[in-house]
Amino acid sequence: MISNKIMIVDDEPDILDLLKDTFEEEGYNVITALNGLEALEMLDTELPDVILSDNRMPGMAGIELLEVIRQRYPESIRLLMTGYADLNIAIESINRGWVYKFITKPFKMEEIMITIRRAIEYYEIVKQKKILEEQIKEQNQILEKRVEERTIDLQNLTEELEEKNRTLSQQKEEIRRLYSHLQRSYLGTITSLHFALEAKDQYTRGHSERVFHYSLHMGRELDLDLEDMVHLKYAALLHDLGKIGIPDSILLKPGKLTSEEYDIIKNHATLGATILDPIQFLKRVKIIIGHHHEHYDGRGYPDGLKAENIDIQGRIIAVADAFDAMRSDRPYRAARSRMEALDELVEMSGTQFCPRCVDAFNRVIVEIGDFYDDPELAEKYAEELKFMEYEMPGMPEVFPYRRKEILEPS
């Protein structure tokens, strides 16, 4: 164990020796000086924990010496031995913090030993406190550095994440754009097919648009929600799409069809659904188109579905489709009058047609009129019945290419 070092400064060798011996017996490491200058010189090489100095000495007074030492080694504990005559100076020096305590001369050895022990204890406490403070300071610096590093890491990570998020959003947007483009392309192709069908079959020209107008009015009459209306819109326009796959010799046959030929014609419902297969957003439309020739009593085709098992849109289109077909001239028969066609619908209500849909159609025909009675009606409704009224986010506008662009390319 390293013992504490004490420096004693006194111009009286006897006192020096006495104190030195006593302190050494106590286990302290003792150095001595006879005056202030000698003490200061020694301090260049020695660093005592406690300095005990007499005040009255030739050359430099003890109080001056301790003040110099305080400035050079503030951590040292300084004690002043003084006579009664210098008591005021001693008290003031304590008040100013220059010395820790003073010992009056003549002193008792027991008293001086207690003071020295306390001074050493005080020195150790101050030293420990300083060490602790240093450690805390060091720990704080380490912590601050870590926090700083972590903060920088976190900032980098945040920036990296933000960048990734931006990239992801851009990629998502690009995929969405491409997907929408793809859907529009498909729809464009199908629209072309639809117009191609109308171009080759003059008897059905304009039929899909008329069915479309009737159907949307019926849908509104029957309180369909937006989603059902959007599906109805596409299905009504594309319901006979499958006819594109029916040979011209059958589709355009001027006379009555044989039952084999009629069977082939009947395939158009399923064929239309198959053509729409790749278009994700027309999944529902595909099913409706497949069912537009089902009968309410289950005697229709292709699946023989009954009543409510047929989509409401399929039942609506069946009525509009039949009315428009009856009202148009065909190679094998003349058009029926409006009343005849309506009577036929009412007659077939509950068998071929959904009664609710026939009722709705009867109200609609009163409201909007008959395209065959009023040739300008189609033009009027193309303007007035806003296609966009039944749009859903993410679904392209119906018929992205106008009829004119398809049939009369520039």
Size of interface with Fe ion, in residues (CB under 5 A): 1
Among positions 240-259, residues that touch Fe ion (CB under 5 A) are: 240
Minimum distance between the CB of residue 389 and Fe ion, rounded to whole angstroms?
25
Is-cis flag, bond preceding 58, omega within 30? Answer: no
In the complex, minimum distance from the CB of residue 169 to Fe ion, in angstroms, rounded to a whole number? 44
Nearer to Fe ion, 118 or 200 (CB): 200
Regarding 198 and contact with Fe ion (CB under 5 A), the answer is no
User: How many whole angstroms separate alpha carbon 183 and alpha carbon 191?
Assistant: 12
With respect to Fe ion, which residue has the nearer C-beta, 236 or 395?
Answer: 236
Judged by DSSP in three states, 6 sits in strand
Pairing verdict, β 101-104 and 29-33: unpaired
Closer to Fe ion by Cβ: residue 198 or 240: 240
CB of 195 to Fe ion, least distance (A): 17
CA dist., res. 354 & res. 348, Å (int): 9
Q: Which residue is nearest to Fe ion (CB)?
A: 240
For Fe ion, what does the binding mask look like between residues 150 and 179, x meaning CB under 5 A? Answer: ------------------------------
On the 0-12 / 13-18 / 19+ scale of CB atoms within 10 A, 176 is exposed
Applying the rule CB under 5 A, the residues between 224 and 243 that interact with Fe ion are 240
Q: Considering beta carbons, is residue 49 or 321 the nearer one to Fe ion? A: 321
Is 51 strand, coil or helix? Answer: strand
Q: In the complex, what is the shortest distance from the CB of residue 268 to Fe ion, in angstroms, rounded to a whole number?
A: 6
- CB closer to Fe ion, 83 vs 331: 331
Q: Which is nearer to Fe ion, 228 or 240 (CB)?
A: 240
The three-state (H, E, C) secondary structure of 78-106, written as one string: EEEEECHHHHHHHHHHHHCCCCCEEEECC
Q: To the nearest whole angstrom, how small is the minimum distance from the Cβ of residue 292 to Fe ion? A: 6
Closer residue to Fe ion in complex, CB, 56/205: 205
CB burial of residue 297 (10 Å; 0-12, 13-18, 19+):
middle
Is the distance from CB of 98 to CB of 76 less than 8 angstroms? Answer: no
Phi, psi of 404 (to 5 degrees): -60, -45
Structural tokens at position 194: 């639809």
Tell the residue number behind the tokens 């003890």, with chain if given: 62
- CA 408 to mean position of chain CA atoms: 48
Nearer to Fe ion among residue 70 and residue 210 (C-beta)? 210
Least Å distance, CB 192 to Fe ion, is 19
Residue 114 corresponds to which amino acid?
A: I
What DSSP designation does 400 have?
A: S
As measured in angstroms, the least distance from the Cβ of 397 to Fe ion is 24
Q: How far is the CB of 243 from Fe ion (least distance, A)?
A: 7
- For 240-267, b where at least 16 C-beta lie within 10 A, e where not — what string? bbbbbbbeeebbeeeeeeeeebeebbbb
Which residues of this chain interact with Fe ion, rule CB under 5 A? 240
